[in-house]
Amino acid sequence: MNDIRRTLLWVIFCFSLILLWDQWQIHNGRPATFFPRAEQTTATANDPAAPANANSTVPPTSSNAAAAGPGAVPGEQAPAAEVRSEQVDISTDVLRLTFNTEGGSLVRTALLQYSDQLGGSEPVLLLDENANRVYQAQTGLIGGAFPTHKTPMALVEGPRALSEGQNELQVVFESQDLGGLKLRKTYTLRRGDYAIGVRHEVVNTGSVAVSPQLYLQIVRDGNALPSSTPFGFAATFTGPAVYDAQNKFKKIDFKTIEENKAEMPAPSDNGFVAMVQHYFASAWILGDNVRRDFFTRKVGNNLYAVGMIAPLDALQPGQTRTIDATFYAGPQLEKRLEALTPGLELVKDYGWLTILAKPLYWLVDRLHSLLGNWGWSIVALVVLLKAAFFWLNAKAYSSMAKMKAINPRIQEMRERLKEKPQQMQQEMMRIYKEEKVNPLGGCLPILIQIPVFIALYWVLLSSVEFRQAPWILWIHDLSAPDPFYILPLLMTASTMLQTWLNPTPPDPMQARLMWIMPLVFSVMFFFFPAGLVLYWLTNNILSIAQQWVINRRLGVNGGKKKPA
């Protein structure tokens, strides 16, 4: 029975790791390694298109979008004539933005409080436009020869930087009359905020009523971001996403758009579109009760768009219509995203154990507010979890200690009855019953730890707060592997000590495997984020302390049994 318990434990543990790896591969758009699925697709990463070709078309009108298909590019073409554009730099305390006067589009966002690499001086660039990256936010009008994101616009003179003591800055672009309409865009930037208010004022300057439609879209190339850790452990989904209250959050990979197979939500009066990548995201948000049609489409070679179209009521001559939107470009800070609009926090992906990961993040965030260090917050999290499951673990460790105590009797009996397997099994069950030992009781602690471990894995990889977050001494980034492998070595040593405290299987082969398997398992931790290794090491140390006390109380491993 002891053999069965040990075998079952390792089978469950190894199978859980296999499932974790396959789910991780599928989540990142790669085929599963062990259990491939026929419907899996991966993003196509062709040569990046030149920026000049990035935005040559405007979206389909909402009236023909559904008929044309979610990935098609019908509708009206932007003016083909070359126009002279100017790039305008605007800065706040957290953002440095670059706008293009061609359409008043946002073409670059530098996140000033996040460096592109540990110890680096250059900020993270989210939106950008260069030879290797096209990633822009655009808006305009369709339904006629109206101003689009390709229309030249004039920048209204004003400050270009948020000055000391100033909390708000406005950047205004105005178009000329086109098709009887004039478009005025006002970007409102606020101190400490990654959410940008965007007001569209549409003025009918003609002599007849018109019914334009406002589109908001994010255009990005389909190239995946390079992984920041060995073997792609920190690679996450990159691509568009849509949300509405009925269909909830849905990721759409670039290949689905390429193949014209993207299924979009029905027209709605709520929801947003987003472009997601590891740690950071951008999103267009419209207020509730504003009708919107969702769309995705391919706009060029390896260039894709996700957006919304909002029909405007008919504008009479001289009438002005205003529609407000919000554009977010920044880190996936869960509390900020939740405050902006329902569902936006889902751009932060916790994988398939969200039900555990979200409360784990909430708890570690509360601990960080008290301790001020994410590493010590992980240590405190383990202490709280161990305290919560103390009595459950104590019963399991007591069972393991009793198993270790009766191991000499089991081995003597196995040797004596090795030619009589049926009698040996009966005698073994009699000993277990007599000693009140459950041979499967020791499996419980690891079975409880596995889902928590996997959930914390997603929390560490998804939470931008852990990115480049230091702990102590040599650990400068909890989201990256330990550069000197000290934590993995300590974790390996603690695992071997914990193995020594466990009962040894009577079978010699299983006894050898009992020591080999922890070593093999520990190799994986050399490539895991330091924060995750810190979690497991702390858990091991506390488990060893608890098990040692229980073993000593029961007189196992040379300790004197305490009187009852």
5: helix, strand or coil? helix
The amino acid at 103: G
Chain segment 141-197, per-residue pLDDT in tens: 999 999 999 999 999 998 999 988 899 999 999 999 998 999 999 999 999 999 999
Rg (CA), the chain: 30
Asked if pLDDT for residue 96 goes beyond 60, the answer is yes
Model pLDDT, residue 526: 81
The band of 236, judged by pLDDT with boundaries at 50, 70 and 90, is: confident
Q: Distance (Å, rounded) from C-alpha 47 to C-alpha 423? A: 70
In this structure, of 16-25, 241-250, 468-477, the range with the lowest mean pLDDT score is 16-25
Boundaries of every domain in the chain: 2-32+358-405+441-553, 51-226+233-347
pLDDT confidence band for 556 (50 / 70 / 90): low
pLDDT band at 483 (very low <50, low <70, confident <90, very high): confident
pLDDT of residue 136: 96
Given a contact cutoff of 8 angstroms between Cβ atoms, the answer to whether 212 and 312 are in contact is yes
pLDDT in tens, 394-425: 666 666 666 666 667 767 776 677 677 777 77
Is 27 a residue whose pLDDT tops 90?
A: no
Nearest alpha-carbon partner for 526 in 516, 539, 537: 537
Overall average pLDDT of the 234-249 stretch: 85
Which residue from 436, 448, 466, 472 is spatially nearest to 529, judged by alpha carbons? 466
Class of 51-226+233-347 in CATH: mainly beta
45 has a pLDDT exceeding 70? no
pLDDT reading at 246 higher than 50: yes
Residues 287-313: pLDDT tens digits?
A: 888 999 999 999 989 999 999 999 998
Measure Cα distances from 112 to 124, 227, 244 in Å. Answer: 7, 22, 31
**Cα(111)–Cα(128) distance, integer angstroms:** 12
